[in-house]
Amino acid sequence: MIRDRFLSTRAIHNLRDYGGYAVSGGGKVKTGLLFRSGHHAEAEEDDLATVAGLNLKHVIDLRGESERERHTCRRPTGFAAEVIYFDGETAGLAPHLEAAQGDVDAVSARSAMVDLYGALPDRVGVNWVLKRYFASLARGEGASLVHCAAGKDRTGIAVDLLHYVLGVHPDDAMEDYLLTNHSPRNEERIRHGMELMGDKYGGIDEATVRVLMGVDPEFLEAARRSVKERFGSTEAYLEQVLGVDAAKREALKAALVDV
């Protein structure tokens, strides 16, 4: 069931387990080890208790410095996980906000999101964090959580790449990516996004906001296609840019797949 993947929260968007998918050659990605979400800046006490219960060893924050300063994550008492982040910018703005700038409608917003996804594999800060994301998970030290601002764009690409390494079928990986559109309280999040974007950019209608606040197969396929076009193959990008060679691939599978 879709809802079974989501953890109950009040002010952390899109917190869910992205394990459990079948992998090629047999077995499944382990559950209880791999989590993803939006930022935790508005987390309530119950949310912090939920995070504490995950027993996280690593938190991978794909946001840039200015985003972290604007929305500093709250942490539960006793929080001791390693937090991995880039000391600089990973995007001018969160991709959905970057795409909202200027005179935008639903059609141009979709085009902007496709272009932004296509450019993400070339972003130095994103690649810096992704390299350490894979290295941390390969050590098999315990549970991790990867997030960005909304937990859908940079996070979606990170999770898709890990699923690829582990042997999750692309259709299943796409299914996980699209779960963002079915996250609890998503309509509330979209209404909030309309208020924020309307105040900042003006004149943005609901259809446009839904494009910017949601995910679409075309977006993720743009990133997948860009990787192949620019590096020749996904494997080449993983090895040359993110340091995921054959040995690290096997270490990730050993740590994260139940045979």
> 3-class secondary structure for 38-106?
CCCCCCCHHHHHHHHCCCEEEEEECCCHHHHHHCCCCCCCCCCCEEECCCCCCCCCCHHHHCCCCCCCH
- 74 Cβ partners below 8 Å, 6+ apart? 40, 41, 42, 43, 48
> Is residue 121 predicted with pLDDT exceeding 90?
no
Sole residue written with tokens 């549970």: 143
Burial of 87 (0-12, 13-18, 19+ CB in 10 A): exposed
Q: Compute CA distances 155 → 18, 128, 247, whole Å.
A: 11, 14, 24
Furthest-apart CA pair in the chain: how many Å? 52
Taking Cα atoms as reference points, which of 160, 169, 133, 168 lies closest to residue 222?
160
Tell me how far apart the alpha carbons of residues 65 and 59 are, in angstroms, rounded to a whole number: 15
- Which of 14-23, 109-118, 170-179 is the least confident region? 109-118
Which residues are registered as beta bridge partners of 16?
A: 6, 36
pLDDT value of residue 166: 98
The radius of gyration computed from the CA coordinates of the chain, to the nearest angstrom, equals 17
Write out pLDDT tens, residues 59-96.
999 999 999 999 999 999 999 999 999 999 997 655 55
pLDDT at 186: 87
Average pLDDT over residues 178-204: 77
Report the DSSP pairing between strands 34-37 and 143-147: parallel
Residue 228 confidence (pLDDT) above 50: yes
148-161 pLDDT tens trace: 998 999 999 999 99
Domain spanning 2-258: which superfamily?
Protein tyrosine phosphatase superfamily (3.90.190.10)
The percentage of residues in the chain with a pLDDT greater than 90, rounded to a whole number, is 78
Contact 149, 127 (CB under 8 A): no
